[in-house]
Structure 1
Amino acid sequence: MSAAGRILVINPNSSLSCTQGIAAALAPFGALGRFEVVRLEDGPPAIASWRDWHSVAEPLCRRVEREDAAAYVIACVSDPGFEAVRATTRRPVLGMFRCAVAAALTRAERFGVIGFVAASEARQRLALRSMGVEERLVGWTPLDLPMEVLTDPEAPRSRIREAARALASTGAGAIVLGCTGMAGHVAAAEDAAGLAVIEPCAAAGAMALLATAPA
């Protein structure tokens, strides 16, 4: 695929099941034939700690420098390396968390987030502050499950439903899934909450297509 038509989606963790889930979430855009989903094979198993978050910034920059594309998507819902990658290329760079929040705010004034692990909250709040919308977050509930459990088709469903119901009770008008590992669980969260649930891979995919659309 030529760089003019390629949107490179980089999972900064090394999890194969997570990467497959990202690709599946982007599959509805497949007719456009523009997305290429890759992972950092030497990355951490998940972006769970600040150390994980910082450790992938330079590998992401090197990958972007090495591989030309029309746009780049950082496929982690903590948006690690976002500012560094933006400084590396003149092409559009999209963070999945920022895209998902923007999509949530088209559906409701206030939203909640189902987080990956408790440590993710500080990183996601940092992104919200950079967007100027932290005050519109009404609740943040972590699952605290390993990535390989989170990506299982059934194992995390009860926890996800419980978290979705809890966020709905806080007054959230929409819910953001705060990890790409939850991509296969949108329907479960929607059924439990009775609210719009924003899946970050799809949100970023749509915005990447918009960012690379002909003028």
Structure 2
Amino acid sequence: MSEDESAERPTLEAITEWDRGIGWFAQPDEDAMRGSHALATESGVWVIDPLDAEGLDDRLSELGEVTGVAVVHDRHTRDAEAIANRHDVAVYVPEWMDLTREKLQSEPEPLGDELPGTTYEIRRLIDTDEWEEAILVDEAGETLVVVETLGTLPGFCASDDDIGLHPTLDETPDGLADYQPERILVGHGESIYEGGAAELDAALDSD
């Protein structure tokens, strides 16, 4: 990577560590507060819907070797290809997500029902001509990754809730209320790392 390319990236500052990964904000002061995640798994590190930042590669290497970069929402192609290229891995997209695939410069690898070599299952949440979103579910690890439908910014949350539905959604997507996670990793705002099931139930009851 050239010095010019490195200088164009914001410095990695806002990082949250948990026992199976990290979350970060490349631009923590922006209104959308776009969050990215890296999951430490038995097969290596999976990077989810990432925004790039100077210093990110060092933090990823502390978790292990990067196995792949996954994009699970059509508007979150972000810096997936740049990060994948640096780590010499592929970008992966759920096989049914045509809109997402069209927004990438190169053809991604298809994902089936799971992140390969991990306990994370991939489940279809929204599939329309204008919105494609998959969620990652690790029932054994009590972790739910919902990068767009759920968020913790004020625009998502009703009343005193700490998490809520995307403001453009009129109703809760089918199946979302079935999960009881300890942690919920979101793509906008601070993620919830404990007590996620109660927070999710309260938010969906308020909807």
TM-score using structure 1 length: 0.35
**Structure whose residues are more often strand by fraction:** 2
More contact order relative to length (CA 8 Å, sep ≥ 6):
1
* Greater per-residue helix proportion: 1
